[in-house]
Amino acid sequence: MAQGPKQFSQRLNDCLDDTEAPAMPRDRANVLSRMLDIPRQQAWSFLQGLQFPDADLLERIATEFEVDPKWLCGEK
Protein backbone atom coordinates (compact mmCIF):
# COMPACT_ATOMS: atom_id res chain seq x y z
CA MET A 1 0.00 0.00 0.00
CA ALA A 2 1.13 3.57 -0.64
CA GLN A 3 2.99 5.49 2.04
CA GLY A 4 0.51 8.32 1.83
CA PRO A 5 0.15 11.86 0.62
CA LYS A 6 3.30 13.21 2.35
CA GLN A 7 5.58 10.71 0.59
CA PHE A 8 3.81 11.38 -2.70
CA SER A 9 4.17 15.14 -2.17
CA GLN A 10 7.91 14.88 -1.58
CA ARG A 11 8.47 12.78 -4.67
CA LEU A 12 6.19 14.94 -6.81
CA ASN A 13 8.17 18.00 -5.71
CA ASP A 14 11.41 16.15 -6.53
CA CYS A 15 10.05 15.53 -10.05
CA LEU A 16 9.20 19.20 -10.42
CA ASP A 17 12.69 20.13 -9.21
CA ASP A 18 14.09 18.06 -12.07
CA THR A 19 12.04 20.09 -14.55
CA GLU A 20 13.32 23.36 -13.05
CA ALA A 21 9.79 24.37 -12.06
CA PRO A 22 9.58 27.55 -9.96
CA ALA A 23 10.39 27.12 -6.28
CA MET A 24 7.49 29.24 -5.02
CA PRO A 25 4.60 26.93 -4.01
CA ARG A 26 1.90 29.02 -5.71
CA ASP A 27 3.85 29.14 -8.99
CA ARG A 28 4.62 25.45 -8.72
CA ALA A 29 0.92 24.63 -8.27
CA ASN A 30 0.13 26.69 -11.38
CA VAL A 31 2.71 24.77 -13.41
CA LEU A 32 1.41 21.40 -12.21
CA SER A 33 -2.18 22.44 -12.81
CA ARG A 34 -1.45 23.36 -16.42
CA MET A 35 0.76 20.33 -16.97
CA LEU A 36 -1.92 17.87 -15.87
CA ASP A 37 -5.02 19.90 -16.77
CA ILE A 38 -6.32 19.73 -13.20
CA PRO A 39 -7.68 22.50 -10.93
CA ARG A 40 -4.99 24.61 -9.29
CA GLN A 41 -6.41 23.81 -5.84
CA GLN A 42 -6.02 20.09 -6.52
CA ALA A 43 -2.43 20.62 -7.66
CA TRP A 44 -1.78 22.63 -4.48
CA SER A 45 -3.23 19.81 -2.35
CA PHE A 46 -0.94 17.26 -4.01
CA LEU A 47 2.14 19.44 -3.57
CA GLN A 48 1.33 20.12 0.10
CA GLY A 49 0.69 16.45 0.93
CA LEU A 50 -2.98 17.02 1.69
CA GLN A 51 -4.43 14.79 -1.02
CA PHE A 52 -3.44 11.69 -2.95
CA PRO A 53 -4.40 11.20 -6.63
CA ASP A 54 -6.67 8.42 -7.78
CA ALA A 55 -5.09 5.56 -9.74
CA ASP A 56 -5.75 7.08 -13.18
CA LEU A 57 -4.29 10.45 -12.26
CA LEU A 58 -1.32 8.81 -10.52
CA GLU A 59 -0.59 6.98 -13.77
CA ARG A 60 -0.83 10.24 -15.76
CA ILE A 61 1.52 12.00 -13.36
CA ALA A 62 4.03 9.15 -13.50
CA THR A 63 3.90 9.15 -17.30
CA GLU A 64 4.35 12.92 -17.45
CA PHE A 65 7.49 12.76 -15.32
CA GLU A 66 8.69 9.42 -16.72
CA VAL A 67 8.82 7.71 -13.34
CA ASP A 68 7.38 4.50 -11.93
CA PRO A 69 3.98 5.14 -10.29
CA LYS A 70 4.98 2.83 -7.45
CA TRP A 71 8.03 4.97 -6.73
CA LEU A 72 5.95 8.12 -6.96
CA CYS A 73 3.52 6.93 -4.31
CA GLY A 74 6.26 5.56 -2.07
CA GLU A 75 5.84 1.84 -2.65
CA LYS A 76 9.46 1.39 -3.70
pLDDT in tens, 20-70: 899 999 999 999 999 999 999 999 999 999 999 999 999 999 999 999 999
CATH for the stretch 5-19+26-72: 1.10.260
Q: What is the spatial distance between Cα 21 and Cα 59, in angstroms, rounded to a whole number? A: 20
What's the pTM value of the predicted model, to 2 decimals?
0.90
State yes or no: pLDDT of 2 exceeds 60: no
- Which ranges of 1-76 would DSSP assign to H, the alpha helix? 5-18, 25-36, 40-47, 55-65, 69-72
Residue boundaries of the structural domains of the chain: 5-19+26-72
